[in-house]
Amino acid sequence: MPKELPKSPSISPSAELRADINTLMERGVTIWGPNRGWPAGASPRINQIYARFIQMRDALAIELSDTEKSILLECLSGSVVNDSFVEGLELEVMDSEGVEAFPDEGNALIEKIKGASMAERLATLDVLGY
């Protein structure tokens, strides 16, 4: 029986791990989780791998205030989220009504997105449920 990995309450990915995650996410790798379609009663190892993925995803996601989240969700509603959408995410946010309603938060969100890698953008969208 394989030795279990120690559980980590928090994660700060190394540069190498972050590069691996970026590569996987940029290639469109999707990991299915308990809420995303695999059957109940999945093996403890699968659950452990998924929990580790969630920790890494959350560590990569852009930290957003509640207002920034609502602007981004408003921007996402009705949108097809594909590679070109994620690539030009700051342009999509600039065009949203949320930026006009909350210019300070909207501009801060645009700056955060501009400075984020593709993997960080994808992780953020995944955290928001897209």
Contact 61, 116 (CB under 8 A): no
Contact 71, 106 (CB under 8 A): yes
Amino acid at the residue 110 = I
Mean local confidence (pLDDT), 118-128: 89
Mean local confidence (pLDDT), 79-91: 82
Higher pLDDT, 86 or 43: 86
Give, in order, the Cα–Cα distances in Å from 3 to each of 6, 45, 48. 9, 10, 12
Higher pLDDT, 106 or 43: 106
Minimum mean pLDDT among 40-44, 46-50, 54-58, 104-108: which range?
40-44
Residues 73, 125: Cα–Cα separation, whole Å = 9
pLDDT digits (tens, 9 = 90+) for 20-37: 666 666 666 555 555 555
What rounded mean pLDDT belongs to the chain? Answer: 75
Kindly report the number of other CB atoms within 10 A of residue 39's CB atom: 6
Higher pLDDT, 64 or 16: 64
Residues 32, 9: Cα–Cα separation, whole Å = 21
* pLDDT for 7: 47
Secondary structure of 56-87 in the HEC alphabet?
HHHHHCCCCCHHHHHHHHHHHCCCCCCHHHHH
| 13 Cβ contact partners less than 8 Å away, ≥ 6 residues apart | 21, 56, 59, 60
* pLDDT for 5: 43
Flag whether pLDDT at 66 surpasses 70: yes
Residue 40 DSSP label: T
* pLDDT for 65: 92
* pLDDT for 9: 43
